[in-house]
Amino acid sequence: MNARRLAAFAALATIASFGSAGATAATAAKPVVPVVHTPRTHEHSEFVVETNKLGQVTRATKVTRSNDSRFNAMTYGNTLQAYIRTPDGKAIAGVYRLTYDYNPANQKITRGVALVRMGGVNPNAPGAVIVEERKLEAEQQEKQAAAAEASALPGLHQMTRHHH
């Protein structure tokens, strides 16, 4: 799965996590406008994450959830895809706190990033998105191999064997 397909998948997952109008065969020709159900109350979620030497989040070590499961899904997905870098573009491998605050008055989410400590992590660890992409590719290869094996025709020897 290339980066463009993964980004498209992530965008669809984010839209799906907030709910959307489903397309049916009858409406496939018309554009489908997603229906976004935003929370009605202030929401807050927080993640303590580790980053590698590229600034990619490698894993979330602590999660504080809000009361809204869709908000949690969206912010967790955003967290795993995050790159954390300094204003001049440098990455510092370490532990960070990411916070997400939703304001229902203006329907905006504010994300905060704070360095907890430098180092203490595996700077060569692959980013969480890379790990998930590898898992998806492995699952797809297993499914393709199983499908190929299931659809394979028996060989001539198997078809002509007689059991006495």
Reported as a pLDDT band with limits 50, 70 and 90, residue 119 is: very high
CB contact at 8 A, 51 and 121: yes
Q: Give the pTM.
A: 0.68
The interaxial angle of helices 3-17 and 69-81, nearest 10 deg, is 160
What one-character DSSP code corresponds to residue 22?
P
**Average pLDDT estimate for 44-60:** 97
Percentage of the chain modeled with pLDDT above 90 = 64
Specify the residue for token string 């993640």: 47
Token code pair at residue 40: 């009605």
CB contact at 8 A, 36 and 21: no
Of residues 19 and 65, more confidently modeled: 65
Q: Is the pLDDT of residue 163 over 70?
A: no
Q: Is the pLDDT of residue 36 over 80?
A: no
pLDDT of residue 151: 78
Q: Is 101 strand, coil or helix?
A: strand
Of residues 51 and 162, more confidently modeled: 51
CB contact at 8 A, 39 and 100: no
pLDDT digit string, tens, across residues 81-104: 999 999 999 999 999 999 999 999
Cβ-based burial of 142 (10 A; exposed 0-12, middle 13-18, buried ≥19): exposed
Q: Give every CB contact of residue 34 below 8 A, 6+ residues apart in sequence.
A: 15, 18, 19, 20, 21
Q: Which phi and psi (to 5°) does residue 111 adopt?
A: -105, 135
